[in-house]
């Protein structure tokens, strides 16, 4: 598929690459469809029966694939043996560090189901103290796993580079924190650290039925976004792709932002800003009807501002799917309606007429589940 290749490829293709690629193909097919015979897999992947059988022996040796009995077939002859990923042989441990006051951790199945979870209050810890909290939580979650751990995935706020170094996370007081390497040394397990919104977009893709081109906007204490194009996460030159929170919306200033500028998207849309604005409007309203009207105005304005930021992104990338993650009582309703209306009114109808904007169904576990996708993808090549 020529369109999927990057420009100017320079890497040499080695036999071990081909073998790894074939192994990934087989695992991915089993992960998504389950219960296949060797012949099914050969047909599905285009690999020869010999190659498939050889790979299956290897994967069974690693306990990654199991035989699950024989297919009931009306035809005479030897029935085919059905195979599947051994979905209970391994578990995944993940952490979500994006909560403003609470860090969360969970053990997940290979299918992304949360089997157990726990958390710890951040209690204002920063820098090394915040790292200690993270390491202690990770030890606790690992101790709760009931099967060998495939790997550890972590969704962190802030800018995270490809080596899992948290370049900058103001809430945790981290600058150039080599989180991935430190947690890997501390646990002896493979660890992947990514930005929380980038983790969230992977959860939406793998478990939320999203398409290959997708923008996920995560609204919490801050505002960030994760972008998937052609099934690939986009990180950007400085690993800050999707950092739309501190982009100024419009030319009319607006509320003062924590970063010092006025009218950043975050200053319009973050959860603390919306809840305090709604609280203030409710306190001064004379009647419940007036309070409701004022609340709708605040949410509509925030939705409109989000639409203004997203319209050029939607237009430039020809995106048709946008997912919102955050408190549904704030985002789902007049706010998202105003966002869609604004995007549609600012882009060409022929290109964005089928645009859908919806709330995620992944709920509060979205980062935990997305971090599991990072591990599945890194360790097995499946997602
Ligand atoms: Zn700002």
| Structural domains of the chain in order of their starting residue, each with its CATH number | 15-85 (1.10.10.10), 91-202+365-380 (3.30.420.40), 208-359 (3.30.420.40)
| Distance from the alpha carbon of residue 240 to the mean position of ligand 1, in angstroms | 14
| d(CA 223, ligand 1 centre) in Å | 10
The answer on pLDDT for 349 being more than 90 is no
* 351 CB-side CA count, 13 A: 14
Exposure class string for 4-13: b at 16+ Cβ within 10 A, else e:
eeeeeeeeee
248 CA from centroid of ligand 1 (Å): 7
Q: What is the pLDDT of residue 85?
A: 95
Dist. CA 83–CA 68, nearest whole Å? 6
pLDDT score of 252: 85
Which residues, including other chains, have CB under 8 Å from residue 25's CB and lie 6 or more apart? 45, 47
Instruction: List the one residue out of 227, 203, 199 whose CA is nearest residue 214.
Output: 227
Write down the pLDDT at residue 4.
Answer: 55
Q: Is residue 277 predicted with pLDDT exceeding 90?
A: yes
Q: Is the pLDDT of residue 251 over 70?
A: yes
- CA-angle at 228, arms to 307 and 305, nearest 5°: 10
Distance (Å) from CA 257 to ligand 1 centroid = 5
144-169 per-residue burial string, b: 16 or more CB within 10 A, e: under 16? ebeeebbbbbbbbbbbbbeebbbeeb
Q: What is the pLDDT of residue 350?
A: 73
Residue 167 alpha carbon to ligand 1 centre in Å:
18
Cβ–Cβ under 8 Å, residues 217 and 324: yes
48 CA distance to ligand 1 centroid (A)? 55
Phi then psi dihedrals of residue 255, to 5 deg: -60, 150
DSSP of 27-56, one letter per residue? HHHHHHH--B-HHHHHHHH---HHHHHHHH
- Rounded to whole angstroms, how far apart are CA atoms 325 and 204? 10
pLDDT confidence band for 209 (50 / 70 / 90): confident
The whole-chain average pLDDT of the chain stands at: 92
Distance (Å) from CA 300 to ligand 1 centroid: 20
State how far Cα 261 lies from the chain centre: 28
Assessment of whether the complete model's pTM goes beyond 0.75? yes
| Structure confidence at residue 210 (pLDDT) | 85
Q: What average pLDDT does range 189-217 have in this prediction?
A: 94
Nearest to 362 by CA among 96, 86, 89: 96
**293 CA distance to ligand 1 middle (Å):** 28
Q: How far is the centre of ligand 1, averaged over its atoms, from the C-alpha of 78 (Å)? A: 67
């030159």: which residue's tokens? 237
Confidence grade of residue 25 (pLDDT, cut at 50, 70, 90): very high
- Ligand 1: centre distance to CA 255 (Å): 10
How many Å lie between the centroid of ligand 1 and the Cα of residue 76? 70
Percent of the chain with pLDDT over 70: 98
Q: Is residue 2 over pLDDT 80?
A: no
Please give the average per-residue pLDDT across 95-111, as a whole number: 96
pLDDT at 1: 35
Q: What is the pLDDT of residue 3?
A: 45
Would you say how long the chain is, in residues? 383
How far, in Å, is the centroid of ligand 1 from the Cα of 5? 36
pLDDT at 5: 61
């Amino acid at each position: 598929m020529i369109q999927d290749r990057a420009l100017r490829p320079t890497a040499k293709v080695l036999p071990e690459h081909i073998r790894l690629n074939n192994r990934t193909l087989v695992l991915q097919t089993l992960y998504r469809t389950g219960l296949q015979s060797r012949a099914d897999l050969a047909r599905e992947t285009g690999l020869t029966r010999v190659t498939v059988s050889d790979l299956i022996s290897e994967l069974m040796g690693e306990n990654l694939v199991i035989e699950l009995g024989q297919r009931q077939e009306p035809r005479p002859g030897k029935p085919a043996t059905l195979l599947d990923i051994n979905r209970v042989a391994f578990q995944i441990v993940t952490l979500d560090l994006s909560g403003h006051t609470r860090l969360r951790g969970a053990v997940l199945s290979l299918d992304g189901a949360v089997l157990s979870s726990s958390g710890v209050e951040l209690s204002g810890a920063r820098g090394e103290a915040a790292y200690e909290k993270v390491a202690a939580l990770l030890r606790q979650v690992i101790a709760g796993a009931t099967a060998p751990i495939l790997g550890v995935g972590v969704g962190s706020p802030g800018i995270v580079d490809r080596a899992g170094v948290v370049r900058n996370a103001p809430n945790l007081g981290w600058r150039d924190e080599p989180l991935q390497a430190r947690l890997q040394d501390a646990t002896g397990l493979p660890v992947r650290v990514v930005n929380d919104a980038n983790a969230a977009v992977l959860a939406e893709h793998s478990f939320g039925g999203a398409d290959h081109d997708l923008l996920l906007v995560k609204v919490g204490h801050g505002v960030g976004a994760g972008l998937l194009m052609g099934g690939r996460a986009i990180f950007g030159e400085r690993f800050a792709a999707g950092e739309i929170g501190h982009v100024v919306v419009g030319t009319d200033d607006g509320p003062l932002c924590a970063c010092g500028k006025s009218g950043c998207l975050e200053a319009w849309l973050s959860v603390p800003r919306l809840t305090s604005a709604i609280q203030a409007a409710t306190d001064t309203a004379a009647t419940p009807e007036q309070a409701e009207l004022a609340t709708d105005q605040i949410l509509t304005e925030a939705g409109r501002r989000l639409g203004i930021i997203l319209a050029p992104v939607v237009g430039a990338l020809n995106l048709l799917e946008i997912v919102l993650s955050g408190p549904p009582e704030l985002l789902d309703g007049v706010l998202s309606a105003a966002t869609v209306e604004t995007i549609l009114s600012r882009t060409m109808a022929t290109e964005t007429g089928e645009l859908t904007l919806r709330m995620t169904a992944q709920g509060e576990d979205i980062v935990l589940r997305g971090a599991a996708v990072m591990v599945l993808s890194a360790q097995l090549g499946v997602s």
